[in-house]
A and B are shown apart, each in its own frame.
Chain A
Amino acid sequence: MVALVELDDGVRILSQMVDVEPEEVKVGMRVEATFRRIREDGGSGIIEYGYKFRPSIEPEG
């Protein structure tokens, strides 16, 4: 699941969404970056890590 995420400073990026069911994702919901495994280059290759986004778990305000 990939979403268009707008950061607080207005920059927009594409990112995978994790820790959430597709039907729970709503336009405008608060999200936060999390460090996750992106892909593996075969069984003995490099494991790539990077950012994904999940629903914000910090209290708002």
Chain B
Amino acid sequence: MSDASPEEVVSFLSMPEDQDYTAYTGITNFGLNAIIYRQYLERFGVRQEEVAMLAVRSHEHAEGCPHAMYPFKLSLERILSSPMEADPIHVLECCGVGDGAAAVILKPSEGDGEEVEVAAYTASTDLNHLTERADILTFEAVKRASDKAFRMAGLSRRDVDVLELHDETTITGIISLEDMGFADKGRGASLVTEGESANGGGPHLNTFGGLKARGNPVGATGLYQIAEVTTQLRGEAGRCQVDEAEVGLAQSLGGVGSTCAITILRRR
């Protein structure tokens, strides 16, 4: 991805969108995120400072992570004073697009001491065109894929210790949290601002920085998340390690919420 100019990268990221009606208007994927973001803030009366805290947290977690693209903290003030990518989305609320590769090795379960098993893998789709959806603030694909995954795994939301989000922008991360069932609609940001796992709350989010700070090598990102969750469950995450991580979830999005893949991994 680093071979391409910023314009080419944005064009590439916008390719999942309908070219005849969406790209035709000149809007980018970040522009579509901006439309969602603006309506989200207005409908739920949430402040942008709350949504953008997801980026602050992700950068905190990336600090010291050897494979993170941006392994350092960023303050809320710094993020919200960065230039606009697509109003109201600031550049520092967007994922870091970069290079990367990840691999996983799958093998049949033989009870030979391997610690991590795939408890569920699901995928779902939604109407590609944002304008055709009943509600642009709900990612139906995320809802369906996660409901199915938790049924398949026989687990509940409370069981999840580690969650790698597809935070292409802060707002897609927050809406994903809600539609996966970790927070009510309009309350996703409070899960972040009030502190994860505080008061027996939500799971640890983006433990290596997520797309925001670990970076988004696009095609490799989904596998990055699975490799990261596996690393957590094995207890090999070094300074990024979460205590007693038993269950982890990786959520990957395609387009602006038009496809979603959920993988739940469990330590045996």
Cα of A52 to Cα of B107 in the assembled complex, Å: 55
Q: How far is the CB of A27 from chain B (nearest CB, A)?
A: 6
Chain A residues touching B, majority SS: strand
Report yes or no: A2 in contact with B131, Cβ–Cβ below 8 A.
no
Known: A13-B131, A16-B26. A27 touches B21 (CB 8 A): no
Report yes or no: A4 in contact with B24, Cβ–Cβ below 8 A.
no
Report yes or no: A14 in contact with B136, Cβ–Cβ below 8 A.
no
Residue from the list B27, B38, B87 in contact with A14, Cβ < 8 A: B27
Q: How large is the interface on B (under 10, 10 to 19, 20 to 34, 35 or more residues)?
A: 10 to 19
Report yes or no: B130 in contact with A14, Cβ–Cβ below 8 A.
yes
CB-nearest residue of chain A to B136: A4
Q: Within 8 Å CB of B130, what residues of A?
A: 4, 14
Cα of A50 to Cα of B20 in the assembled complex, Å: 12
Cα of A48 to Cα of B25 in the assembled complex, Å: 12
How many pairs of A and B residues are in contact by the CB < 8 Å rule?
A: 30
Q: Within 8 Å CB of B112, what residues of A?
A: none
Report yes or no: B25 in contact with A16, Cβ–Cβ below 8 A.
yes
Residue from the list B31, B132, B136 in contact with A2, Cβ < 8 A: B31
B22 within 8 Å of A (CB atoms):
yes
Q: How far is the CB of A38 from chain B (nearest CB, A)?
A: 7
Cα of A27 to Cα of B31 in the assembled complex, Å: 16
- Pairs across A and B, CB under 8 Å, 12 listed: A2-B26, A3-B35, A4-B35, A4-B39, A4-B136, A14-B22, A14-B27, A16-B25, A22-B87, A27-B38, A27-B42, A38-B24
The 10 residue pairs across chains A and B that have the minimum distance between CB atoms: A12-B131, A2-B27, A14-B25, A2-B25, A4-B35, A16-B25, A13-B131, A2-B31, A14-B22, A15-B25
* Chain A contact residues, CB within 8 Å of chain B: 2-4, 12-16, 22, 27, 38, 50
Beyond A4-B131, A14-B27, A27-B39, list 11 extra A-B contacts (CB 8 Å): A2-B31, A2-B35, A4-B35, A4-B39, A4-B130, A13-B131, A14-B21, A14-B22, A14-B25, A14-B131, A15-B25
